[in-house]
Amino acid sequence: MNFLQSLKMALSSIFSNKGRSFLTMLGVIIGVAAVIAATGFAEGSTASITESIEALGSNQLTVSITGRNSNRDVDYEDFREFTDEYPDLISKMAPTVSGSSTIKYGTNSSDSVSVVGTSPDYADIQDMHVQNGRYILELDMEYRQKIAVIGTAVVGELFDGADPVGETIKIDGTPFIVVGVLEEKDGGQDGGEDDTIIIPVTTAQRVYKSSTIRTFTVLVNDSERVDEAQETIEAFLTDVYQSEDAFRVFNSAMILDTLSDVTQTLAIILGGIAIISLVVGGIGIMNIMLVSVTERTREIGIRKAIGARKSSIMIQFIIEALVLTGLGGILGILIGIGAIYTIISNFVPPVVAPTWALMSFLFSLFIGLVFGIFPAYKAANLNPIEALRYE
Amino acid sequence: MKSLVEITNMIKTYVMGSNVVRALDGIDISINSGEFVSIVGPSGSGKSTLMNMIGCLDVPDSGLYMLDGVDVSALKDKNLAGIRSEKIGFVFQGFNLLQKFTALENVELPLIYRGFTHRKRKQMAIEALDRVGLADRMHHKPTELSGGQQQRVAVARALAGDPPVLLADEPTGNLDTHTGAEILDMLDTIHSQGNTIILITHDNMLAHQAKRKIEIRDGIITNDEEVRK
């Protein structure tokens, strides 16, 4: 008896009892769908994080200062002087002091708006453009001007369509003059990139009572020289803090490395869940198949009496298990993909991981093989005389 | 004539609780190719055990069984399936058709296990159904057929692979007298076309429909005679 014939027999027996077959497959369907949806979510979030990191550009360095017990701190002027020494290596430099504040204009107010204190270079590093008015200038930094450049979401919330340039807003009670409006970046949604106010870093230090600047972003002229720039910055900061532990300099490659570590861990956890849920599904299949062997004792007896070998019966039942888990796997993949595009796409960009789909399909087949063998063995070894007598 | 079934001193015992039952207690039978033999005996006589032995569903404790020149008594279970597939056609009292398959598919089933190609076995199955006069019902399922028709499908299934022995176990037991007689007539016709038929029954009247009657009682052959010309 050839394979195709066994497959046909298995299919006809599966389709002659659709309801039960579906219930049998359910464990595998849910297991595989969960794996596909979960990995889709993981890959989707990885993709969107990777995208935003790559948008930073490969020639960007982030300096994070953590040192506390030093007599000397690096403020904007110090770092500016340092970078000005290497004009051919470092092209842009922006400090950031961030906070979240309540903004008021007249009687309108908006809570938890992200306020970023920074320098003129920040516009270039972040690819920001002013659509109306002006950005902050070096002069504002020097004189600690209370001026602000605001995002479109802030405009929408506070100004009711009026022109904000020249108006006075209050950031946590301190009056600031609006000098410019940024171009829209992500559709002006609340809490998004447009719900931002940019002020001079020197002013921000006062408003947020932050004597030190913890973060600097540096743009390196040539992406080939990122390592050189990183070493130069590290040397400078080591000299200032007399310690290599007082700061960290990140480049986007490092961040991506860290991210891929996280993704890998996530994949291992998901893989574990996949294996457990599919094993549970496999036990369900074995249960139903054992019942089915008992129910079909007479059929097995007839088949054996008219010449079916043990191996033919065994293959028939194993193929039935394989077809059940295989179909379950395919249905699970389809349902998983459906979940990615309907539910998960609300949170992260929809990504279907083909390797995960293939792996979970193959694993469900493997489960079918493992859990099909025992019922198949039981069927194959039925005594034909007793099986024929079975009512 | 060539001896098709040659059984010498066959013994089979079963343990039932503390009793040892000698179901077959030294049986000698020789059946030639082309014969129509009935094996008759009351229940408990050992005729079912003998049928299982002839049909290669079971192996004896001792004794020799040559079937179509093959020493079956020495074979293992795996090879017995092959012998059943090639040498024996079973007709059961309860028809034993697969309910989910059509008549044609049921008749094809033993041919699948014999390894015939799709085209070949379809042709053979249709021929067999034609021999029992059911070619026009081949796409019906057993539930759509009468008892007599179902038994004719079963006979077609037994005939399809053209096995040397047709083994019929109470083939009329589940049928009314009239339909039973029709089935026996059909077996008689098939016999006249050259097939060897062994009919197992408890009914002495039925046993006389064969050409030769073997009586069995308590595992021993008590009578072996020609009953019909």
Spatial separation of the C-alpha atoms in residues B213 and B29, rounded to whole Å: 12
Alpha carbon distance B86, A51 (integer Å): 68
pLDDT at A37: 87
pLDDT at A192: 72
pTM above 0.80, yes or no: no
Query: CB of B122 within 8 Å of any CB in chain A?
Result: no
Element of type H or E holding B215: strand B212-217
Task: Tell if the CB–CB gap between B57 and A305 is shorter than 8 Å.
Answer: yes
pLDDT tens, position by position, A150-209:
998 888 888 887 888 988 999 988 999 999 999 887 766 666 778 889 999 988 888 888
Best A303, A306, A386, A389 residue to mutate vs chain B (most B CBs within 10 Å): A306
Alpha carbons B61 and B72: distance in angstroms, whole number:
12
* B182 reaches A (C-beta below 8 A): no
Cα angle A368-A370-A371, degrees, rounded to a multiple of 5: 65
The neighbour count for residue A338, using CB atoms within 10 Å, is 13
Count H helices and E strands in chain B, helices first.
Answer: 7, 10
Does any CB of chain B come closer than 8 Å to the CB of residue A305?
yes
Main-chain dihedrals φ then ψ at residue B176, nearest 5 degrees: -75, 165
Query: Closest Cα of chain B to A301: distance in Å?
Result: 9
> What is the interface pTM, i.e. ipTM, of the complex?
0.91
Give the residue ranges of DSSP H helices in B115-202.
Answer: 118-131, 147-160, 177-192
Q: Residues of A with CB below 8 A from B82's CB?
A: 307, 309
Enumerate the residues of chain A whose CB falls inside 8 A of the CB of residue B101: 12
Q: Which helix (H) or strand (E) holds A375?
A: helix A354-380
Which has the closest alpha carbon to A180: A193, A167, A162, A192?
A167
Q: How far apart are CA A371 and CA A364, in angstroms?
A: 10
Whether chain B has a CB inside 8 Å of the CB on A287: the answer is no
* Cβ–Cβ < 8 Å for B94, B168: no
DSSP for residue B176? -
Domain residue ranges in chain A = 3-52+257-389, 67-245
Q: How far is Cα B215 from Cα A286, in angstroms, rounded to an integer? A: 48
**pLDDT digit string (tens) for A85-114?**
888 888 888 998 888 889 999 888 888 888
pLDDT classification of A68: cutoffs 50, 70, 90? low
Contacts of B57 in chain A (CB under 8 A): 305, 384-385
pLDDT tens per residue, range B59-99: 899 999 999 988 888 887 778 888 999 999 999 988 899 98
Q: Cβ distance B223 to B213 under 8 Å?
A: yes
Cα–Cα distance for residue pair A352/A343, rounded to 1 Å: 13
* Structural domains of chain B ordered from first start: 35-59+79-226 (3.40.50.300)
Ramachandran angles phi, psi of B89, nearest 5° = -120, 120
User: CB–CB of B113 and A1 under 8 A?
Assistant: yes
Instruction: Name every chain B residue with its beta carbon within 8 A of the beta carbon of A16.
Output: 100
Positions in chain B short of pLDDT 70: 1-2, 229
User: Do B78 and A310 count as a contact with CB atoms less than 8 A apart?
Assistant: yes
